[in-house]
Amino acid sequence: MTATQLSPGSVRKTAAGATAPGRRRALDRYLNPALGVLGVAVVLAAWQICASTGVVDPKFSSSPSGAFRALVDSFTSGDVWSPLGSTLSIVAWGMLISIVAAIPLGLLIGRNRVLYALTDPLISIMYSVPYVVFLPMLIFWFGIGADARVVIVVWSAMFPLLINVIAGARNLEQSHLQVSRVFCASRLTTLRSVAFPATLPYILAGVRQAVGRALIGAIVAELFMGSAGLGYVVQLKTSNFQTDDAMAAIAVIAIIAVLLNHGVAYLEQRLTFWSRTD
């Protein structure tokens, strides 16, 4: 909130004060992104200067201009599409499976005291342990094909989502449940029409965490398995000393991460507008 400054007897000042919140919002809208871009530009410029003046060896460190050229090349030659598609489809499948499984499962566990007591320690452990330690074991079990990578993505994404859904289902408003009971709603109706929408903000927060972890899971799996995807490209190009190409692949991964984050944020805004307190 902006405090409106009132100086005695000055109508003009007051009028200017009344528009101040609007101006502040416009500043937030344009100035903050502009500052963000500036920050990135400064770092890139410093990197470019270091590479051009030979402070660092661009063969090892790549350079913004080299990486950018490699990025454009990968698009014009079409080399980027196959690994990009591979990574994206793995992440998409993994997220889909996680969401379809975690939401009903989380609602069920959150609404059932015995199930919760049974599963809570297990899920907490699975959530807390760095999931990449399971990677060798998962490769051992599932091989290095696309299926195995989906398994790893699900493994990474499932638990933050599950934990959020359970927390949401356990935090249902008592009065909402009473309304449901008074109007004789069935258990299924209560789950679908009360528990699910009430949990939606938690679900989407969980999805946001899960998407981040899913991407990490996919990339780490590709680095590890060396079979396909953007992670594999990064690994391959780096070991071939093609650091520009490796940096270009990293840039693509960064873009995916940012877009996914924004996509989920957009969904949150569209689907849970009713829970905002502004």
Write out the residues near another protein by the rule CB under 8 A: 173, 175-176, 178-186, 189, 193-194, 197-198, 200, 272-277
Min CB(122)–another protein separation in Å: 25
Residues in Cβ contact with 87 at an 8 Å cutoff, skipping those fewer than 6 apart: 218, 219, 222, 229, 230, 231, 253, 256
Nearest residue (CB) to another protein, 203 versus 220: 203
Per DSSP, 4 falls in state P
Q: Which two structure tokens, joined as six digits, stand for 38?
A: 């500036």
Q: Judged by CB, which is closer to another protein: 53, or 175?
A: 175
Angle between helices 196-225 and 146-170 (to 10 degrees): 150
Indicate the residue among 23 and 113 with the shorter CB distance to another protein. 113
User: Which of 141/266 has CB closer to another protein?
Assistant: 266
Give the separation between CA 222 and CA 253, rounded to whole angstroms.
12
Q: How far is Cα of residue 244 from the mean position of the Cα atoms in its chain?
A: 26
Least separation in angstroms between residue 191's CB and another protein is 12
Q: Copy the structure tokens of residue 208.
A: 């946001």
Of the two residues 77 and 175, which places its CB atom closer to another protein in the complex? 175
Shortest CB 123 distance to another protein, Å: 24
Q: With beta carbons less than 8 A apart as the criterion, state whether 109 and 169 touch.
A: yes
Nearest distance in Å: CB 269, another protein:
14
Tokens of 21: 């919140």
Q: Report, in Å, the least distance between residue 164 CB and another protein.
A: 17
> What is the C-alpha separation between 248 and 56, in angstroms, rounded?
18
